[in-house]
Structures are given as structure tokens and as C-alpha cells.
Amino acid sequence: MENFRFYVPTDIRFGKDQLDALHDSVAQFGNNVLFIYGGGSIKKSGLYDQVLAQLAGLNVTELSGVEPNPRIESVREAVKLSHENNIDVILAVGGGSVIDAAKVAAAGAKYEGDAWDLVKDASKVGEALPLVDILTLSATGTEMNRNAVITNFDTNEKLGTTGWNLIPAVSFLNPENTFTVSKWQTAAGSADIMSHLFEQYFDRAEGTDIQDFVAEGILKTVIKNAPIAMQDPTNYDARANLMWASSLALNGLTGKGKKNGWTVHPIEHELSAYYDITHGAGLAALTPRWMEFALDATTVDKFAQYGENVWGIKNDDKMKTAKEAILATHDFFASLDIPMTLQGLGIEEDTKFAEMAAEAVRIDALDKNAYAKMTPADVEALYRAT
Ligand code: NZQ
Ligand code: ZN
């Protein structure tokens, strides 16, 4: 196991009827609040009114309309509003996109230059305004981590940035707030959670039983509960398990002590940057093909472990178990009604694949630091096979 720092100071308020604590959670940082949300789902669900009632007595500035695959323009607008209104604290209410935009805005408010600098170069992320969030979609883990992903469609770049001061101070996780999430977003979010676990699980660090057995447990939790939430959207326990899985899958618990970088995420981020597709759906389509690519004599033991411990597959031949596990992964995503091809995701043309593949390899050093190293030609072939 490699050395690591695990620092997650987020105050988690999990469950029903926790919102009475919202006022004090926000007001502890000051009276001037920037309330950021997305395209209107929180107005439909009634959460917007509940939040405003809680914020009574504070000076609230609102920014609505943060897009899925949040854009740098929204971040810049939030920074501008923060300066104009002398903002003390940001409250983000929504899915990963809203919270990620709020994170970079929180740092942007304390940075002299353009907020895009902070996305291009994480070493520039310094101080940040405190962030409180209410999560409404189980997927990204942003509610309990220091990462944010922002898109610049002018340059077709979708990039992740990170900083210790971006970790939310308080996250309200009420599974009931996810009852209204569509089947499509429930499926995509569940695939995203699983992909976070895969990115950390398939790694060449030795002796990481604790991380791996925890990851296997979270994977089994998602495999059990995602279909229930799809069929029965107001099933509290299914939504609760997915929500806590979202947080635990990407708060460092299963990734610390590992050594390789991520692979499928950078490859998917190119798809979202060029075609604005749903992140989790893109991951689901790419993952089984990536697994086939990564499976060889040096990785078969890990894939067989995954097959045995997560899917309950048992064979004398490890390669057979590994292949059956990959098929089970594919069939599970397909059972959630995710189209398992790029064409099914609406990507008809392929003229950009070579360019995108080169970018993915360059940005995350897939040819040097990945679990299964990939050249631009390998990544391009993966796009074509999907
Ligand atoms: O904008 P509104 O109206 O709120 O609608 C959203 C949006 O259309 C809707 N939604 C959210 N909560 C809902 C709801 N609809 C009904 N009821 C609710 N309770 O769902 C749509 C998608 O929302 P979005 O926030 O985009 O989804 P998600 O949470 O999956 O976030 C995706 C973004 O996070 C990034 C992704 O790349 C993508 O940009 N990621 C962030 C990570 C991180 N910060 O650690 C890691 C991830 O790997 C990922 O890259
Ligand atoms: Zn993800």
C-alpha cells in the first residue's frame, strides 16, 4: 500500500428532516450567501422554497441555470456575483454539475485572474469561500471530495481540477431529494459511482485489501439498489444506499494507497467535451470495452477477483471468470437501459476521435501512468469499438 493523506472534513448531515440545520450551517460563515442551482429541478420538487425559508434573515443572491457538464461561463458569473455582493459563503443545491461549478467559483472569488486558470492548473487553486451543499443526485461524490470538473466549449476542453479548500464544509444528503431523479439520470449516476470504484480498484499497488474489499461492497450495493430505484423511485432505502455509495466511492476511501491514474474518465471527458453527452452513460458504454483491453496475463487475477467477489462467478479458470465478469458488467449497464454504443448515445460522426484520443492520453498520461497503458491509437480504437 502506498503512503497517503486522507483529509475529509465535510460535516455530513445524512437523512430526512435535517434541513432545520441549514440556516446555522450557512450563517456560521457570514450573512451574504450566494445560492447556486441548476435548470429548475429544485423548483419542481419544492426544495427551492424549503431552502429559501431556511435562509430567511440572510442576504441571498441567486444564480440559476448551471448546466449539466457545467460551463466556465457559469463559474465566471458566480465569481462576478460573489465580488459584487461581498459573498461570505456559497450554497450549492443540485447534482454534481452545480456543486462543481460552485467549488471553482468559491476558489475563483479568491483568485485575481480568470477562473479558467484554476481549471487548467490546479496548483493555482488556493483559498476559497466556504461551500455548503444540498445534493440532489447520487453520482459524482463531489459532496465529499476536493474535485471539480468544468467544461469550456469554446476550446472543447472538459477538465478536472482539485484543491484542499474545495472540499465542502457541510453536505446535506437527504435521499428523499433524489426521489425525482429520472430513470436515465439514476442509471447514469449509478454507472458513474461504479466507474469511480473501477478506476481505483483496477490498480497495480500491492496489498490493498481494505480498499478493494470496501470497493467490492460498494459495487454490490449499487448493483443491488440501482434497479430498485429505477423501478420504484421513491424507495427510501434504495435511494439512501445509492446516495451514501456516491459519497464513499469517491471520497478517498477506496482510492488512497493506490498508484495508477484513471483511464476511462479522461476518455469519457473527451466525449462530453465534444458531444455534451451524459457523463455516466458515456462511462457505462466505454467500460466493458476498456476492461477487455485491460485484461491480460498480468491483470487476470484482479479481474477474476472482481468476478468472484462482486458477481459471485466461480470457475477453475481465472480467465474464464474474468471474461464472464466483463460480460456481467456490460449486461448490468444494458439492463439499466443505457445504450451501450456511442451511436446509441447520439455520436454519429467519428472525425474527431483521433484528436480526442491524443488529448485524453496527454492530459492523464495514459501511456505512462494507467493500469493498462494506452497509446492514442489504443484510445481511438476503443472509441471505434464502442
Ligand atoms: O439542472 P437541474 O434542473 O437541477 O437538473 C439536473 C440535470 O439536468 C437533473 N437533476 C439533478 N437532481 C435532480 C435532477 N432532476 C430531478 N430531480 C433531482 N433531484 O439531472 C441532470 C444532471 O445533473 P448533473 O448535476 O449534471 O449530474 P451529475 O451529478 O451526474 O454530475 C455530472 C457532472 O459531474 C462531473 C461530470 O463530469 C459532470 O460534469 N463529475 C464530477 C466529479 C467530481 N467533482 O468529483 C467526478 C465525476 O467523475 C464527474 O466527472
Ligand atoms: Zn465520474
Over the stretch 147-195, which tens digit does the pLDDT of each residue have? 999 999 999 999 999 999 999 999 999 999 999 999 999 999 999 999 9
Tell me, in angstroms, the distance from the centre of ligand 1 to residue 157's CA: 18
**Are 141 and 198 contacting, i.e. CB atoms less than 8 angstroms apart?**
no
Nearest Cα to 385, choosing from 347, 334, 342?
A: 342
Mean pLDDT value across the chain: 97
First to last CA, the chain: 34
Mutate to test the pocket of ligand 1, among 137, 157, 181 (most ligand atoms within 8 A of CB): 137
Mean pLDDT of 117-125: 98
pLDDT of residue 366: 98
Tell me, in angstroms, the distance from the centre of ligand 1 to residue 194's CA: 15
Tell me, in angstroms, the distance from the centre of ligand 2 to residue 1's CA: 24
| Entry pTM | 0.98
Confidence category of residue 348, pLDDT binned at 50, 70, 90:
confident
Tell me, in angstroms, the distance from the centre of ligand 1 to residue 70's CA: 9
- From 136-140, 259-263, 273-277, the region with the lowest mean pLDDT: 273-277
Q: Which atom of ligand 1 is nearest to the CA of 69?
A: 39
pLDDT at residue 214 greater than cutoff 90: yes
Confidence category of residue 253, pLDDT binned at 50, 70, 90:
very high
3-state secondary structure at position 339:
coil
- Whole-angstrom distance, CA of residue 126 vs CA of residue 47: 32
Confidence category of residue 97, pLDDT binned at 50, 70, 90:
very high
pLDDT of residue 373: 98
**Are 332 and 284 contacting, i.e. CB atoms less than 8 angstroms apart?**
no
Confidence category of residue 378, pLDDT binned at 50, 70, 90:
very high
Mean pLDDT of 200-229: 98
pLDDT at residue 350 greater than cutoff 90: no
Residue 242: phi and psi, rounded to 5, are: -65, -40
- Whole-angstrom distance, CA of residue 361 vs CA of residue 39: 33
Nearest Cα to 149, choosing from 78, 187, 93, 95?
A: 95
| Burial call 129-150: b when 16+ CB within 10 Å, e when fewer | bbbbbbbbbbbbbbbbbbbbbb
Q: Which atom of ligand 1 is nearest to the CA of 97?
A: 25
Question: What does DSSP assign to residue 143?
Answer: G
| Percentage of residues in the chain having pLDDT higher than 90 | 99
Nearest Cα to 171, choosing from 368, 18, 58, 289?
A: 18
Tell me, in angstroms, the distance from the centre of ligand 1 to residue 3's CA: 32
- The residue contributing the CA closest to ligand 1 atom 18 is 181
Mean pLDDT of 304-328: 98
Mean pLDDT of 347-357: 92
Mean pLDDT of 48-55: 98
ipTM above 0.95, yes or no: yes
- Whole-angstrom distance, CA of residue 216 vs CA of residue 253: 12
Residues within 6 Å of ligand 1 by CB: 38-42, 45, 68-69, 94-98, 100, 136-137, 139-142, 145, 147-149, 177-178, 180-181, 185, 189, 192, 250, 265, 279-280
Tell me, in angstroms, the distance from the centre of ligand 2 to residue 146's CA: 14
pLDDT at residue 349 greater than cutoff 90: no
